[in-house]
A and B are shown apart, each in its own frame.
Chain A
Amino acid sequence: MSTTIFEKGRSGRRGYRLPENDCPAEGLELPVQRTGPVGIPEIGEQEAVRHYMELASKNYHIEKGIYPLGSCTMKYNPVVNEEIARLEGFAGLHPAQREADVQGALELMYGLERSLSEICGMHSFTLQPAAGAHGELAGMMIARDYFRNRGEERDTVIVPDSAHGTNPASVVLCGFKPQTIVSDERGLVDLDDLAAHLSDRTAVLMLTLPNTLGLFERDIDRIVGMVHEAGGLIYMDGANMNALLGIVRPGEIGIDIMHVNLHKTFSTPHGGGGPGAGPVGVSENLADFLPVPRVICEDGRFALSYKSEKTIGRVHPYYGNFNVFVKAYAYIRTLGARGLREVSENAILNANYLMSLIQESYHVAFPGPCMHEFVASAANLKKHGVRTVDVAKRLLDYGLHAPTVYFPLIVDEALMIEPVETESKETLDHFAGVMNRIAAEAKEDPKLLHEAPRNTPVRRLDEATAARTPDICWLD
């Protein structure tokens, strides 16, 4: 257990000293209201550094080992990109600076928008959304205004039951009604159920591609045809775009709107839960609805354009998470066309390889080649009194991070595994070895799993009490 920063504070200690104030306060009328203490701990610099280093030592992170969370794409975050994003010429810009002073930043944003458009086969992109779910919301707003503009009353959005929870939540936030359709025995969109739900009220089909089972929708051509036939649009949740770089351009197969996660596919770090970035791409007939401002280029000069009558408005107070754009741009330029294709091929190869190594110990929900991830199940261990959570916690004891657990909801005791392209064969062999060993332990000595983890800074935590009586603020 680490002492909190509040317990370490001692009045009078300082971690940083400001320059002397060279402006006297005498004679000024200062509207000071709060004179009592705020309650910020006072702590010396050394203790502050030790505090955060102690916390740091209790975190799992990519630079420590494999992080196989499904649909999270925990790939290596190139260190050079961190260095680049910290350049004062990027980090020190204020969003209200004159265009003449931010030409390099606008050029980078323009370049990133064009690159994403090329990669995804979309007409244009906005970089504004700060995360994937924020991109979904922007995409839904675009669809809503598109139909409103056409005078069509379409109020429902169809979402497969395998979708991320953000999908239906974003749909509702935008005023649409979500309708769930089921997956068929292949783990793919059930075409009959889709047909049964399509109507002149259908605005959008929201589709994760490849889906959260790690499967490419084999019938995508028919799905697109059916939705378009019904007058609807197709939104692609691009969280799993790491499988498709240089292989499929969603715009070319009929996707109308999509988002990508720069903090997944394009290697920018997750920061322990953000900041991310969720740029949204659209087909040509929807481009006028994108948020403003748009970055434009005229005669080699870059500018921000607010001229758009149909725009959905703003979803971010400025231009989006610029610092994240810098890293993604550097990544795309470093990889180039061939490098990006290599990413997806190796992501698919690694996932299939890992699946082949553990499929005798764990049930694989939908066999056959997977894309960049697959869903295994610990249901076969239930007879030993072992559940997925136990497998996950036991992995922690071996110094490895667990996969995404209990998602997607349609697979019992799900373990959703995405090994990503940057992991080596040896790492995958080791991970699979541990997974198989844990399955053996489940039969021979299930207590090992039930009592796991033992080798972590804390052991299993009491979540029930936390939910009943949350302690979310330290009181002296």
Chain B
Amino acid sequence: MSYVQNTDEDRKEMLKAIGAADMEQLLDPIDPALRVQGELALGPGMSEAEVIALTRELAGKNRPASEAASFLGGGIYDRYIPAVVRYVLSRSEFYTSYTPYQAEVSQGTLQAIYEYQSLICRLTAMESANASMYDGATSLAEAMLMACNIKRRSRILVPEALSPAVRAVLESYAAGKGIVIEGIPFTESGTMDLARLEELLSVESAAVVCAQPNYLGLIEEAGEIARLARDGGALLVSYVDPVSLAVLTPPGEYEADIVVGEGQPLGNPQNFGGPLLGFMATRKAYMRKCPGRLISATVDVEGRRGYVMTLQTREQHIRREKATSNICTNEGLCALTAASYLTSLGESGFREVAMQSMVKSHTLYRMFSELPGCRLPFGENFFQEFVVTLPSPLDRFMEAAAARRLLPGIPLGDDFPALGAGALLVAVTEKRSRAELERYRDLVSEAGGET
């Protein structure tokens, strides 16, 4: 099954119209010696029923977090996705369309992305947002390049309490441009060591990255970090969780220069970590330095409101090697998803998602604080995620919990050895019920101490 519609009869007629004797004549530019001999070793094709059976079998070998009591986070969260969002996402008018190069027949995509940009501006309290990037990690990498370009400097200060995966992507991008990344350690309270930040800031620092909340779930003194960055002549790049912005100070209020983050929690499934949604917002003054597509409202020849891609002279297809980035295809459909998620929840629903996550995570924290042997090193200054060291050995506990369809969190020992081998990052979203929190507590309690 190749979805090809040409019949043998069609092919004959078409070859005749072309004036070619056979297919071979059309392949003439390719030296026969360079061609595949025989058939690819891929086996025969399959019917629809067979491919469904095959893929169902593969899906069946997985145990999805979405069907368990999942406390996994670290940037990707198990949130409820309203049916409206899934429905919009499944409409072929959106998912089978291309990048809106012909604006007159792409007003649906263009307006949806314009609304997405506007929503990101509101969430972050910034003046402009782009049409999306691949994911939070590459958004931060692009923000780093943008900051170095604006400041004509080549050092970036990033918190050590940053997702190790995000840090790794940042390192890959920095290497190409000769950018030096310096880590800012966290204190005993789990937040950025501001004294150390002040020491590290120099005339070469292009930007300070503030992860809010940071990877350990804690809320940073973002205003103070912004002030230090400014005093040091560096830009402030905020790496934020979008849902947290319902309840935390928006970066525009502490005068962040560039705001980026991972937009998966805005209605996108976990999808084993992809596709994700990178968002980016900045000041109006830096709009022309920003990477990626921008959609602008305008009018048509009859004066009707419409939308177009704009400031394309920043982009690779016009500017080539002088472009602000190489990005072309982005994550348009995930941005549409985020917009439809936010509008289907509305102001109060969105705030409730954030509040329920905060209340439930703090409830679990309190439950753990009453269990003997549970170590909670960093206090209650967190949004929806916290670090805990359980009384029983982590491997054994993870195993036992998995058998009971509960995913306790992300082990931190390998990436943050200072936190100890048993440290666990626990996320609680609005989707968790009190019964699941109690089940988690009881499991910890039953597993007991070191024996």
Of the listed stretches B30-38, B196-204, B225-233, chain A binds B30-38
Instruction: From the candidates B30, B40, B132, B298, name the one contacting A461 in the complex (CB within 8 A).
Output: B298
Task: Tell me the smallest distance from the CB of A384 to a CB of chain B, in Å.
Answer: 21
Give the complex CA separation of A64 and B91 in angstroms. Answer: 12
Check B348 against A14 for contact (C-beta < 8 Å).
yes
**Given A33-B248, A173-B176, A252-B34, A77:B330 Cβ within 8 A:** no
**Which residues of A are found within 8 Å of B390, using beta-carbon distances?**
none
**Given A313-B168, A474-B115, A33:B31 Cβ within 8 A:** no
Task: Tell me the smallest distance from the CB of B221 to a CB of chain A, in Å.
Answer: 11
**Which residues of B are found within 8 Å of A270, using beta-carbon distances?**
95-99, 329, 332
Of the listed stretches A104-112, A191-199, A225-233, A435-443, chain B binds A104-112
Check A170 against B75 for contact (C-beta < 8 Å).
no
Check B320 against A169 for contact (C-beta < 8 Å).
yes
The contact sample of 14 A-B pairs, CB cut-off 8 A, is A18-B353, A82-B95, A90-B59, A100-B402, A133-B328, A175-B177, A218-B31, A271-B97, A317-B163, A346-B6, A407-B317, A425-B14, A457-B104, A461-B299
**Given A104-B61, A174-B176, A472:B129 Cβ within 8 A:** yes
B420 interface contact, C-beta 8 A: no
Instruction: From the candidates A168, A246, A324, name the one contacting B36 in the complex (CB within 8 A).
Output: A246
Report how many residues on chain B are interfacial, defined by Cβ distance under 8 Å.
Answer: 206
A380 interface contact, C-beta 8 A: no
Within 8 A of A (CB), among B59-94: 59-67, 70, 72, 74-76, 78, 80, 82, 84, 87-88, 90-94
Give the complex CA separation of A28 and B51 in angstroms. Answer: 51
Check A458 against B29 for contact (C-beta < 8 Å).
no
Across the A-B interface, how many residue pairs have beta carbons closer than 8 Å? 690
Check A321 against B274 for contact (C-beta < 8 Å).
yes
Within 8 A of B (CB), among A205-261: 215-216, 218, 220-221, 246-249, 252-253
Check A341 against B39 for contact (C-beta < 8 Å).
yes
Interface residues on A, range: 35 or more
Within 8 A of B (CB), among A116-162: 118-119, 130-134, 136-137, 140-141, 144
Check A131 against B330 for contact (C-beta < 8 Å).
yes
B211 interface contact, C-beta 8 A: no
Instruction: From the candidates A25, A134, A248, A369, name the one contacting B359 in the complex (CB within 8 A).
Output: A25
Check A178 against B105 for contact (C-beta < 8 Å).
no
**Given A56-B91, A92-B270, A273:B175 Cβ within 8 A:** no
Contact with A along B1-23 (1 / 0, CB 8 A): 11111100011011101111001
Check A98 against B39 for contact (C-beta < 8 Å).
no
Q: What 6 A-B pairs have minimum CB-CB distances, sorted nearest first?
A: A318-B273, A89-B59, A92-B66, A92-B64, A95-B273, A271-B333
Determine the main DSSP class of A at the interface with B: loop
Task: Tell me the smallest distance from the CB of B68 to a CB of chain A, in Å.
Answer: 9
Task: Tell me the smallest distance from the CB of B312 to a CB of chain A, in Å.
Answer: 8
Check A18 against B382 for contact (C-beta < 8 Å).
no
**Which residues of A are found within 8 Å of B104, using beta-carbon distances?**
393, 396, 453, 456-461
**Given A77-B96, A317-B169, A59:B296 Cβ within 8 A:** no
Task: Tell me the smallest distance from the CB of A76 to a CB of chain B, in Å.
Answer: 5
Task: Tell me the smallest distance from the CB of A61 to a CB of chain B, in Å.
Answer: 4
Give the complex CA separation of A402 and B358 in angstroms. Answer: 50
**Given A72-B98, A458-B104, A133:B135 Cβ within 8 A:** no
Give the complex CA separation of A212 and B58 in angstroms. Answer: 38
Check B114 against A474 for contact (C-beta < 8 Å).
yes
Within 8 A of A (CB), among B134-186: 134-138, 145, 163, 165-166, 168-169, 171-173, 175-178
